[in-house]
Amino acid sequence: MAIEDDVLIVGGGLAGATAALAAADRDVQVRLVSAKQSTLRHASGLIDVLGYTPAGDGPLVDPFEALADLPDGHPYERVGIEAVHDALSFFDDVAGDAYAGAHTDANALVPTHGGTVKPTARYPAGTAAGLASDDRDTLLVGFETLPDFEAPLAAAHLEAAGAPFAARGVTVRFPGIARDDAKVTRYAHLLDQPETVRTAGGDATAREALAETVRPHLEDASRVGFPAVLGDERTDAVRAELADRLGVDVFEVPMGPPSLPGLRLEDLLYGALEDAGVRVTTGVPVVEYETTPTDPERIDHVIVDRNGTEIPHRADQYVLATGGLVGKGVRSERERVFEPIFDCHVPHPTDRYDWFVDDAFGDQPYARFGLAVDRDLRPLDAAADPEFSNLRAAGAVLGGYDFAAEKSGAGVSLATGYVAGRRAGTEGGR
């Protein structure tokens, strides 16, 4: 017997989770299935909208001023500017106090672990004191056992980029960790818990010991930035205690994967999915689909592989949010580029040598490969007709934009996931 729902979301990243929440907001029965754990743990946790135009202009102060000039086929052009605003408001309601930036349409400039700044629309509350627009002198603190964040180098890059403040970097030993292969969650756990660590001055909590380690390096700094490992379940308390002990504001610098801010965002969204009554199943790839016998343009059900057992899942509406080339939601062979679940059309040059340019840092055509969709986000075939009447797509599986160059990945996932979910929820509830 097939498992039946009103709306089935395929994919568990930001786009899929947003689509599921938006559909559930329509008071329909929603299920989310994902082939693996959410990709959110590999994300920075930042919610960008548009940092640079497709022509490379930027960083943009107001991303919404540039949305109207985006080319036809860009995901933002497909959903419209109002939908981007609505999606951000929807995210703000879900995130609550965990994220900042809802007070303005302007981008904030958030320093990252490499010493660059990223234009972003929403950012974890723990990064708020570190914005590059703030002119307070800054100390960046790195750890000997965490080589992914070279604090002196990051500080030098910030100053070279013209940051309006003096930046210094220092590398210290993290109390209680001697190995350089410890997971980032180990740092967070030590700071979360009241357990003690051994220091030269005797036993102390990790928070106490870290503050004492950093204090001699403060000098004239008015704020201190740490790599984003300041707790997991109690990150606000960790940050507040460090700030109190140091007498300055404390902030986190977003890190590369695996990312604690990404894990926190995952926990936030999946907690919201549970509260909304969305049924979530991970580790079950969709391996096949069948169309309705009387209507070949309508998906009847999909089949998932659960530990070698094929189980049909039937829904009235479907949302595809499986990611792009990196997430394998779009795949390539020598002769073609394709979407592997529903075999939706992916526009691309027939000559594979036109998929890329020789300049490794050039404008690579393959970066824009993905599904073309109509304004209802339904994937289009080679004749520009909808592939299926009850399938929508969202997030990185969409084509027509270069999320890495534009700094628009999370924003596109949020906006298209929101629109696809609401429309699927509306149709599925009829």
Query: Residue 287's domain is classified under what CATH number?
Result: 3.50.50.60
Specify the pLDDT at position 1: 65
Least confident of 35-39, 209-213, 373-377: 35-39
Specify the pLDDT at position 358: 75
Residue 137 pLDDT grade (very low, low, confident, very high; cuts 50, 70, 90): very high
Q: Which of 225, 253, 281 is the last residue of a domain?
A: 253
Q: Are residues 275 and 416 in the same domain?
A: yes
Q: Are residues 382 and 306 in the same domain?
A: yes
Q: Which of 233, 253, 273 is the last residue of a domain?
A: 253
Q: Are residues 138 and 209 in the same domain?
A: yes
Specify the pLDDT at position 223: 97
In degrees rounded to 5, what are phi and psi of residue 34? -140, 140
Q: Are residues 209 and 324 in the same domain?
A: no
Specify the pLDDT at position 194: 76
Of residues 404 and 224, which shows the higher confidence score?
224
CB 363 within 8 A of CB 356: no
Q: Are residues 233 and 176 in the same domain?
A: yes
Mean pLDDT (the chain) is 92
CA neighbor of 416 nearest in space, from 366, 372, 367: 372
Neighbours of 235 (CB within 10 A): 23
pLDDT in tens, 332-349: 888 889 999 999 999 988
Whether 180 shows a pLDDT value over 80: the answer reads no
227, part of any domain: yes
CB 321 within 8 A of CB 11: yes
104, part of any domain: no
Q: Are residues 243 and 359 in the same domain?
A: no
258, part of any domain: no
Specify the pLDDT at position 360: 64
Q: Are residues 306 and 414 in the same domain?
A: yes
In degrees rounded to 5, what are phi and psi of residue 27? 60, 50
pLDDT in tens, 195-220: 788 776 678 899 999 999 999 999 99
Q: How many domains does the chain have?
A: 2
The DSSP line for 111-154 is: E-TTS-EEEESBEEGGGGGG-TT--S-EEEEEETT-TT--HHHH
Specify the pLDDT at position 109: 93
Q: Average of pLDDT values for 282-289?
A: 92
Q: Are residues 137 and 217 in the same domain?
A: yes
Residue 147 pLDDT grade (very low, low, confident, very high; cuts 50, 70, 90): confident
77, part of any domain: yes
Predicted TM-score of the model (pTM): 0.94
107, part of any domain: no
- Cβ neighbors of 105 (< 8 A, separation 6 or more) are 62, 63, 64, 121
Supply the range of the domain harboring residue 144. 113-253
108, part of any domain: no
Contacts 24+ apart (CB under 8 A), 147-150: 147/180, 148/113, 148/227, 148/255, 148/256, 149/113, 149/227, 149/253, 149/255
What is the amino acid identity at position 309? T
What is the amino acid identity at position 366? Y
Q: Are residues 141 and 193 in the same domain?
A: yes
140, part of any domain: yes
> How many percent of the chain have pLDDT more than 90?
77
CB 299 within 8 A of CB 371: no
Specify the pLDDT at position 29: 97
105, part of any domain: no
Residue 269 pLDDT grade (very low, low, confident, very high; cuts 50, 70, 90): very high
Q: Are residues 9 and 63 in the same domain?
A: yes
Q: Are residues 122 and 206 in the same domain?
A: yes
What is the amino acid identity at position 280? V
Query: Residue 137's domain is classified under what CATH number?
Result: 3.40.50
Q: Are residues 120 and 74 in the same domain?
A: no
pLDDT in tens, 80-95: 999 999 999 999 999 9
Whether 246 shows a pLDDT value over 70: the answer reads yes
Least confident of 28-32, 89-93, 254-258, 403-407: 254-258
Q: Which of 227, 253, 279 is the last residue of a domain?
A: 253
**Cα distances (Å, whole numbers) of residue 361 to 27, 356, 368:** 46, 11, 15
Of residues 288 and 3, which shows the higher confidence score?
288
